[in-house]
Amino acid sequence: MRRLAALFMLTLLGACSAVDDLSPLSPSSSSSPTVAVRAPRFEDSKPHEWDSGAPWNYAVHGTDVSKYQTSVDWPTAKASGISFAFIKATEGGDRFDEYFNEHWARTKAAGVPRAAYHFFYFCTPAAQQARWFIQNVPVDRSAMPPVLDMEWNPKSPTCRLRPDAATVRAEMTTFLQIVERHYGKKPIIYTSVDFFDDNDLSTFRGYPYWLRSVAGHPREKYGSHPFTFWQYTGTGIVPGLTGKSDINVFNGSEAAWNKWLRQNTR
Protein backbone atom coordinates (compact mmCIF):
# COMPACT_ATOMS: atom_id res chain seq x y z
CA MET A 1 0.00 0.00 0.00
CA ARG A 2 2.83 2.39 0.85
CA ARG A 3 4.43 1.71 -2.55
CA LEU A 4 1.09 2.37 -4.33
CA ALA A 5 0.62 5.59 -2.36
CA ALA A 6 4.11 6.77 -3.31
CA LEU A 7 3.49 6.02 -6.98
CA PHE A 8 0.19 7.93 -6.80
CA MET A 9 1.93 11.01 -5.34
CA LEU A 10 4.65 10.90 -8.01
CA THR A 11 1.95 10.78 -10.70
CA LEU A 12 0.27 13.86 -9.23
CA LEU A 13 3.57 15.75 -9.06
CA GLY A 14 4.33 14.85 -12.66
CA ALA A 15 0.94 16.13 -13.76
CA CYS A 16 1.51 19.42 -11.92
CA SER A 17 4.89 19.87 -13.62
CA ALA A 18 3.31 19.37 -17.05
CA VAL A 19 0.71 22.05 -16.34
CA ASP A 20 3.37 24.48 -15.10
CA ASP A 21 5.40 23.96 -18.27
CA LEU A 22 2.42 25.03 -20.35
CA SER A 23 1.58 28.09 -18.24
CA PRO A 24 2.29 31.55 -19.73
CA LEU A 25 5.52 33.13 -18.58
CA SER A 26 5.20 36.16 -16.36
CA PRO A 27 7.73 38.61 -14.96
CA SER A 28 8.65 38.23 -11.32
CA SER A 29 7.07 41.59 -10.49
CA SER A 30 3.60 40.61 -11.70
CA SER A 31 1.23 37.72 -11.21
CA SER A 32 -0.41 38.19 -14.64
CA PRO A 33 1.12 36.92 -17.90
CA THR A 34 2.66 39.45 -20.30
CA VAL A 35 1.35 37.43 -23.25
CA ALA A 36 -2.25 36.35 -22.81
CA VAL A 37 -2.50 34.52 -26.15
CA ARG A 38 0.55 33.32 -28.04
CA ALA A 39 0.61 33.81 -31.84
CA PRO A 40 -3.03 34.90 -32.24
CA ARG A 41 -4.47 34.93 -35.76
CA PHE A 42 -6.87 37.87 -36.01
CA GLU A 43 -9.45 38.19 -38.73
CA ASP A 44 -8.90 40.82 -41.41
CA SER A 45 -11.47 42.64 -43.56
CA LYS A 46 -8.90 42.94 -46.37
CA PRO A 47 -6.35 40.18 -45.80
CA HIS A 48 -3.03 39.97 -47.60
CA GLU A 49 -1.99 36.63 -49.07
CA TRP A 50 1.26 36.00 -47.24
CA ASP A 51 3.67 33.94 -49.34
CA SER A 52 6.24 33.90 -46.55
CA GLY A 53 6.87 35.53 -43.21
CA ALA A 54 3.23 35.42 -42.14
CA PRO A 55 2.57 37.60 -39.06
CA TRP A 56 0.82 34.85 -37.14
CA ASN A 57 4.17 33.08 -36.88
CA TYR A 58 5.11 35.73 -34.31
CA ALA A 59 4.24 35.11 -30.67
CA VAL A 60 3.40 38.65 -29.52
CA HIS A 61 0.80 40.92 -31.14
CA GLY A 62 -0.49 44.40 -30.34
CA THR A 63 -2.45 47.33 -31.74
CA ASP A 64 -2.26 51.10 -32.09
CA VAL A 65 -5.12 53.52 -31.44
CA SER A 66 -6.13 57.16 -31.63
CA LYS A 67 -9.34 59.18 -31.41
CA TYR A 68 -10.81 56.98 -34.13
CA GLN A 69 -10.95 54.03 -31.72
CA THR A 70 -13.40 55.22 -29.07
CA SER A 71 -14.06 53.51 -25.75
CA VAL A 72 -11.99 50.40 -26.38
CA ASP A 73 -12.80 47.35 -24.25
CA TRP A 74 -9.16 46.69 -23.32
CA PRO A 75 -9.77 43.58 -21.16
CA THR A 76 -11.53 41.95 -24.13
CA ALA A 77 -8.79 43.05 -26.54
CA LYS A 78 -6.15 41.66 -24.19
CA ALA A 79 -7.98 38.36 -23.81
CA SER A 80 -8.09 38.05 -27.62
CA GLY A 81 -4.32 38.37 -27.92
CA ILE A 82 -3.44 42.09 -27.75
CA SER A 83 -0.28 42.23 -25.64
CA PHE A 84 0.70 45.89 -26.16
CA ALA A 85 -0.67 49.17 -27.52
CA PHE A 86 0.69 52.32 -29.14
CA ILE A 87 -1.50 55.33 -28.33
CA LYS A 88 -1.54 58.59 -30.28
CA ALA A 89 -0.90 61.58 -28.04
CA THR A 90 0.10 64.60 -30.11
CA GLU A 91 0.53 65.92 -33.63
CA GLY A 92 2.62 68.86 -34.78
CA GLY A 93 2.98 71.59 -32.19
CA ASP A 94 -0.60 72.20 -31.16
CA ARG A 95 -2.79 69.13 -31.66
CA PHE A 96 -3.67 66.74 -28.84
CA ASP A 97 -5.63 63.52 -29.36
CA GLU A 98 -8.79 63.85 -27.30
CA TYR A 99 -8.91 60.13 -26.51
CA PHE A 100 -5.30 59.86 -25.35
CA ASN A 101 -6.01 60.20 -21.64
CA GLU A 102 -8.76 57.59 -21.77
CA HIS A 103 -6.67 55.09 -23.72
CA TRP A 104 -3.64 55.79 -21.53
CA ALA A 105 -5.51 55.14 -18.29
CA ARG A 106 -7.57 52.16 -19.45
CA THR A 107 -4.67 50.25 -20.98
CA LYS A 108 -2.77 50.55 -17.71
CA ALA A 109 -5.82 49.44 -15.74
CA ALA A 110 -6.16 46.39 -18.02
CA GLY A 111 -2.47 45.52 -17.69
CA VAL A 112 -1.68 46.21 -21.36
CA PRO A 113 1.85 47.64 -21.84
CA ARG A 114 1.59 50.87 -23.83
CA ALA A 115 3.54 53.70 -25.41
CA ALA A 116 2.54 57.20 -26.50
CA TYR A 117 3.30 58.40 -30.02
CA HIS A 118 3.73 61.76 -31.76
CA PHE A 119 2.84 62.43 -35.41
CA PHE A 120 5.47 64.77 -36.88
CA TYR A 121 4.63 67.86 -38.95
CA PHE A 122 7.28 69.61 -41.04
CA CYS A 123 5.66 73.03 -40.63
CA THR A 124 6.67 73.24 -36.96
CA PRO A 125 10.24 73.13 -35.59
CA ALA A 126 11.20 69.80 -34.05
CA ALA A 127 12.09 71.31 -30.68
CA GLN A 128 8.65 72.90 -30.40
CA GLN A 129 6.99 69.58 -31.24
CA ALA A 130 9.08 67.78 -28.63
CA ARG A 131 8.03 70.30 -25.99
CA TRP A 132 4.38 69.86 -26.99
CA PHE A 133 4.67 66.07 -26.61
CA ILE A 134 6.34 66.45 -23.21
CA GLN A 135 3.64 68.87 -22.10
CA ASN A 136 0.90 66.33 -22.81
CA VAL A 137 2.43 62.92 -22.04
CA PRO A 138 3.22 62.21 -18.38
CA VAL A 139 6.42 60.51 -17.30
CA ASP A 140 5.44 56.94 -16.43
CA ARG A 141 8.31 54.56 -15.83
CA SER A 142 6.00 51.60 -16.44
CA ALA A 143 5.25 52.80 -19.98
CA MET A 144 7.11 51.61 -23.05
CA PRO A 145 9.43 54.14 -24.75
CA PRO A 146 7.79 57.05 -26.61
CA VAL A 147 7.35 56.83 -30.37
CA LEU A 148 8.09 59.30 -33.19
CA ASP A 149 5.75 58.74 -36.16
CA MET A 150 7.52 59.81 -39.38
CA GLU A 151 5.55 59.65 -42.63
CA TRP A 152 4.45 61.94 -45.43
CA ASN A 153 1.03 63.55 -45.09
CA PRO A 154 -0.05 64.61 -48.59
CA LYS A 155 -3.71 65.03 -47.58
CA SER A 156 -3.04 67.37 -44.66
CA PRO A 157 -5.16 70.56 -44.73
CA THR A 158 -2.38 72.54 -43.04
CA CYS A 159 1.06 71.06 -43.80
CA ARG A 160 2.22 69.22 -46.91
CA LEU A 161 5.90 70.19 -46.85
CA ARG A 162 8.42 67.57 -48.00
CA PRO A 163 11.89 68.73 -46.92
CA ASP A 164 15.06 67.14 -48.29
CA ALA A 165 16.37 64.00 -46.63
CA ALA A 166 19.15 65.73 -44.71
CA THR A 167 16.67 68.17 -43.17
CA VAL A 168 14.31 65.34 -42.26
CA ARG A 169 17.04 63.42 -40.45
CA ALA A 170 18.25 66.55 -38.65
CA GLU A 171 14.73 67.33 -37.41
CA MET A 172 14.28 63.73 -36.29
CA THR A 173 17.53 63.91 -34.33
CA THR A 174 16.43 67.07 -32.54
CA PHE A 175 13.07 65.63 -31.51
CA LEU A 176 14.46 62.27 -30.47
CA GLN A 177 17.25 63.69 -28.34
CA ILE A 178 14.95 66.07 -26.44
CA VAL A 179 12.37 63.37 -25.76
CA GLU A 180 14.98 60.81 -24.72
CA ARG A 181 16.50 63.21 -22.20
CA HIS A 182 13.09 63.92 -20.67
CA TYR A 183 11.75 60.35 -20.42
CA GLY A 184 15.05 58.55 -19.93
CA LYS A 185 14.25 56.01 -22.65
CA LYS A 186 15.45 55.76 -26.24
CA PRO A 187 12.41 56.50 -28.45
CA ILE A 188 11.05 54.19 -31.14
CA ILE A 189 10.75 55.36 -34.76
CA TYR A 190 7.64 54.46 -36.73
CA THR A 191 7.77 54.85 -40.49
CA SER A 192 6.44 53.64 -43.84
CA VAL A 193 8.24 52.21 -46.87
CA ASP A 194 8.08 55.37 -49.01
CA PHE A 195 9.23 57.68 -46.21
CA PHE A 196 12.03 55.27 -45.28
CA ASP A 197 13.31 55.17 -48.86
CA ASP A 198 12.85 58.89 -49.61
CA ASN A 199 14.89 59.94 -46.57
CA ASP A 200 17.61 57.28 -46.57
CA LEU A 201 16.61 56.04 -43.13
CA SER A 202 18.68 52.92 -43.69
CA THR A 203 21.54 55.21 -42.64
CA PHE A 204 19.69 56.50 -39.57
CA ARG A 205 20.67 53.94 -36.95
CA GLY A 206 20.80 53.78 -33.18
CA TYR A 207 17.04 53.66 -32.54
CA PRO A 208 14.51 50.80 -32.46
CA TYR A 209 12.20 50.81 -35.47
CA TRP A 210 8.48 50.05 -35.84
CA LEU A 211 7.99 49.42 -39.56
CA ARG A 212 4.77 49.51 -41.55
CA SER A 213 4.51 46.82 -44.23
CA VAL A 214 1.04 45.56 -45.06
CA ALA A 215 1.85 43.86 -48.38
CA GLY A 216 4.96 41.88 -47.54
CA HIS A 217 7.34 41.03 -44.73
CA PRO A 218 9.66 43.90 -43.69
CA ARG A 219 12.68 42.04 -45.06
CA GLU A 220 11.04 42.28 -48.51
CA LYS A 221 10.35 46.03 -48.20
CA TYR A 222 13.18 47.32 -45.99
CA GLY A 223 15.94 44.86 -46.75
CA SER A 224 18.13 43.95 -43.80
CA HIS A 225 17.21 47.00 -41.74
CA PRO A 226 16.55 45.87 -38.14
CA PHE A 227 13.12 46.32 -36.60
CA THR A 228 11.56 45.78 -33.20
CA PHE A 229 7.89 46.06 -34.21
CA TRP A 230 6.07 45.41 -37.48
CA GLN A 231 2.65 46.84 -38.41
CA TYR A 232 1.25 44.20 -40.74
CA THR A 233 -2.31 45.38 -41.35
CA GLY A 234 -4.58 48.40 -41.06
CA THR A 235 -7.76 46.43 -41.68
CA GLY A 236 -7.66 43.90 -38.86
CA ILE A 237 -10.59 42.87 -36.70
CA VAL A 238 -9.82 42.87 -32.98
CA PRO A 239 -12.39 41.93 -30.33
CA GLY A 240 -12.96 44.92 -28.07
CA LEU A 241 -12.24 47.45 -30.84
CA THR A 242 -14.81 48.69 -33.33
CA GLY A 243 -14.11 49.01 -37.03
CA LYS A 244 -10.82 48.31 -38.80
CA SER A 245 -7.77 48.04 -36.58
CA ASP A 246 -4.01 48.31 -37.00
CA ILE A 247 -2.26 45.19 -35.77
CA ASN A 248 1.43 44.82 -35.02
CA VAL A 249 3.88 42.15 -33.90
CA PHE A 250 6.97 42.22 -31.75
CA ASN A 251 9.97 40.87 -33.66
CA GLY A 252 11.00 38.10 -31.32
CA SER A 253 9.93 35.22 -29.13
CA GLU A 254 7.82 35.46 -26.01
CA ALA A 255 10.98 35.18 -23.91
CA ALA A 256 12.57 38.02 -25.90
CA TRP A 257 9.44 40.12 -25.38
CA ASN A 258 9.50 39.57 -21.63
CA LYS A 259 13.16 40.60 -21.58
CA TRP A 260 12.48 43.69 -23.73
CA LEU A 261 9.65 44.74 -21.42
CA ARG A 262 11.80 44.36 -18.32
CA GLN A 263 14.48 46.54 -19.92
CA ASN A 264 12.11 49.22 -21.22
CA THR A 265 9.31 49.60 -18.68
CA ARG A 266 11.14 50.61 -15.54
Cα 218–Cα 243–Cα 112 angle in degrees, nearest 5: 65
Amino acid identity for residue 139 in this structure: V
CA distance 21 to 7: 21
**Residue 115 forms beta bridges with which residues?**
86
Contact 148, 188 (CB under 8 A): yes
Contact 174, 127 (CB under 8 A): yes
What is the DSSP secondary structure assignment for residue 144, as one 8-state letter?
A: P
Element (H, E) at 12: helix 2-22
- Cα–Cα distances (Å) from 257 to 18, 84, 185, 211, 253, in that order, read 23, 11, 17, 17, 6
Cα dihedral: 85, 254, 247, 108 (round 10): -20
Element (H, E) at 89: strand 82-91
Question: Active-site residue numbers?
Answer: 151
What residue spans of 111-265 are helical by DSSP H? 126-136, 165-183, 193-198, 218-221, 254-264
What is the DSSP secondary structure assignment for residue 261, as one 8-state letter?
A: H
